[in-house]
Chain A
Amino acid sequence: MKCEQIAGLLPDYLQGTVPSEREKQIEEHLAECAECRDDVAIWNKLVLLPTEQPSLASRERFDALLEAYRSGRDDRAITSSTLPRRASFWDTFRWMRSPAGAVAWSMALVILGVFAGSRINTSDSHQQDLAAMHSELTNMRQLVALSMLQEQSASGRLEGVTWTRREGQLDPQVLSALMHTLRYDPSVDVRLAALDALSRHSGQPQVRSSVADALQEQQSPLVQVALIDQLVEWRDSQAAPHLQKLRQDPNLNPTVRQRADWAISKLN
């Protein structure tokens, strides 16, 4: 047996999946050929490479991801389980730990102080103050979400998207930041999360058209499929021309094309 013949058999031999009669032939060749023997030696030496351990923060990030995902889903499903309560309790602590959260938290305390002070002086305007403070806090929460959407790290921006899920009604500025994130964020995960968050605001016409427009710009098949699914879920018949245009792209991933065909048949 020659080295060229060994080439097709050596990987299976090294993985221990070669039939025994072949194994004998290979070993006979190895006994004669120093180079092939050295290949085997290097393969065996690779065991020396140390196994790296991921940092402890990795598990924490994963737990945060799971919680954010759960709370996102539960918000949408409006189930009566205890999960939403657990998620919001947990989230309260998470945002307090982040720098933007800390700013918001301290500002909220200041407002609370002002409110307490004014309550002592003018108890008549109690209701008015309460309403003013409520709107102030809502604005501030949206401001925090807005600033987090511009974070450098993908996980920071992901957190920003999660923040926007807390609000029933989104400020036009936050909404437009989310739409921008959906179209241009470099991370696929953040774009997917933005789509998830936007899916709750389908009442807004600009959200629907932004999702349809995003379809043409996306390069990631994962995001494309998620966008198509969303348009089908909304039964948005105006999306059909966008889907037609998408499927004409010669470089389109075959799975995405299949999905687009399915969506077109659903929407027509």
Chain B
Amino acid sequence: MLQVRNGAGETLGVLFDRYQTPLFNFYCRLTGNRSLSEDLVQEVFLRILRYRQSYQPGTPFRAWIYQIARNARIDHFRKTRPQTELEPEMLPPVLPTDSAQEQQEAALLNSALMRLPEEKREVLLLSRFQELKCEEIARLVGCEVTTVRVRIHRALQELRQIFRQLERTPAQSRAAGAAQHLPPRRLGNEV
């Protein structure tokens, strides 16, 4: 990162290779929209390129990049309200895993995750998948570390309750229930 900061644009390519998939997955799980997630990843790297001088050497790069990622998403949704949160067809497809049961559980987890309120989903994703410590998340979202711990715990509890509830609901009525919750479909949700 120091090289990028000092102007070596080629090094940004290495960072892109390292971070594009985790960032893309972060956005996909947060927004449920692949093309928007790709746009946001591009925006993050453009911002890194433009604002690389603001990176403080010696501070964790991962925390810095997620700060940018968070701001990019906030800026985006300030203009366009999310339309796609619960649209199953926009959700990332579930890839085949080891067994049919695991595959089904992954699909249910995905649905449960998308039903969590966005703030809860975000802290859960940051702590579970983006390898950020509670202290780093606290700096990122601008609150006390104890608050972050409580938020993660509550998010996990809520996810568990939704997941167990979905597990008990037969697939057909689940689909019908989800359809009732869906916001009206709007096209042209491009950046």
Number of A-B contacts (CB under 8 A): 143
* Given A52-B28, A222-B47; A15-B134 close (CB under 8 Å): yes
Judge if A98 is at the interface, Cβ distance under 8 Å: no
B13 to chain A, nearest CB (A): 7
Cβ B21 vs Cβ A54 within 8 A = yes
Judge if B159 is at the interface, Cβ distance under 8 Å: yes
**Chain B residues near A153 (CB, 8 Å)?**
190-191
Cβ B149 vs Cβ A38 within 8 A = no
Judge if A66 is at the interface, Cβ distance under 8 Å: yes
**Chain B residues near A66 (CB, 8 Å)?**
9, 12-13, 49
* Given A12-B134, A45-B109, A48-B109; A188-B43 close (CB under 8 Å): yes
Across the interface, B153 reaches (CB within 8 A) one of A11, A46, A48, A220, namely A11
Across the interface, B191 reaches (CB within 8 A) one of A46, A61, A187, namely A187
B66 to chain A, nearest CB (A): 15
* Given A39-B157, A154-B190; A54-B38 close (CB under 8 Å): yes
A interface bracket (residues with beta carbon within 8 Å of B): 35 or more
> Dominant SS at the A interface?
helix
A18 to chain B, nearest CB (A): 11
Cβ B134 vs Cβ A55 within 8 A = no
Across the interface, A54 reaches (CB within 8 A) one of B41, B127, B146, B159, namely B41
- Cα separation A14 to B153 with both chains bound (whole Å): 10
The residue of chain B having its C-beta at the shortest distance from the C-beta of A48 within the complex is: B106
Cβ B92 vs Cβ A52 within 8 A = yes
Residues 45-83 of A at the B interface (beta carbon under 8 Å): 45-46, 48-55, 57-59, 61-63, 65-66, 69-70
Judge if B61 is at the interface, Cβ distance under 8 Å: no
Cβ A8 vs Cβ B146 within 8 A = yes
- Cα separation A254 to B25 with both chains bound (whole Å): 31
Centre residue among B38, B129, B164 by max chain A CB count within 10 A: B38
Cβ A48 vs Cβ B133 within 8 A = no
Residues 126-179 of B at the A interface (beta carbon under 8 Å): 127-129, 133-134, 146, 148-150, 152-154, 156-157, 159-160, 163-164
Cβ B38 vs Cβ A65 within 8 A = no
Mask, B1-36, CB within 8 Å of A = 1, is 000000001001100100011001100110000100
Judge if A90 is at the interface, Cβ distance under 8 Å: no
> Dominant SS at the B interface?
helix
The residue of chain A having its C-beta at the shortest distance from the C-beta of B125 within the complex is: A46
Judge if A186 is at the interface, Cβ distance under 8 Å: yes
Across the interface, B92 reaches (CB within 8 A) one of A10, A50, A58, A226, namely A50
B130 to chain A, nearest CB (A): 11
- Cα separation A113 to B43 with both chains bound (whole Å): 42
The residue of chain A having its C-beta at the shortest distance from the C-beta of B16 within the complex is: A62
* Given A48-B109, A222-B51; A8-B80 close (CB under 8 Å): no
Across the interface, A52 reaches (CB within 8 A) one of B34, B45, B157, namely B34
Query: Which residue numbers of A lie inside 8 Å of B, CB to CB?
Result: 6-12, 14-15, 17, 35, 38-39, 41-43, 45-46, 48-55, 57-59, 61-63, 65-66, 69-70, 152-155, 186-189, 192, 219-220, 222, 226
Cβ B45 vs Cβ A62 within 8 A = yes
A1 to chain B, nearest CB (A): 14
B157 to chain A, nearest CB (A): 6
A–B Cβ pairs within 8 angstroms, 27 of them: A8-B149, A10-B156, A11-B134, A15-B127, A17-B133, A35-B160, A42-B159, A42-B163, A45-B163, A49-B109, A50-B94, A52-B28, A53-B24, A54-B20, A54-B24, A54-B38, A55-B34, A55-B38, A59-B16, A65-B42, A65-B45, A66-B9, A66-B12, A186-B191, A187-B191, A192-B50, A222-B47
- Cα separation A14 to B152 with both chains bound (whole Å): 11
**Chain A residues near B42 (CB, 8 Å)?**
58, 61-62, 65, 155, 189
Cβ A52 vs Cβ B190 within 8 A = no
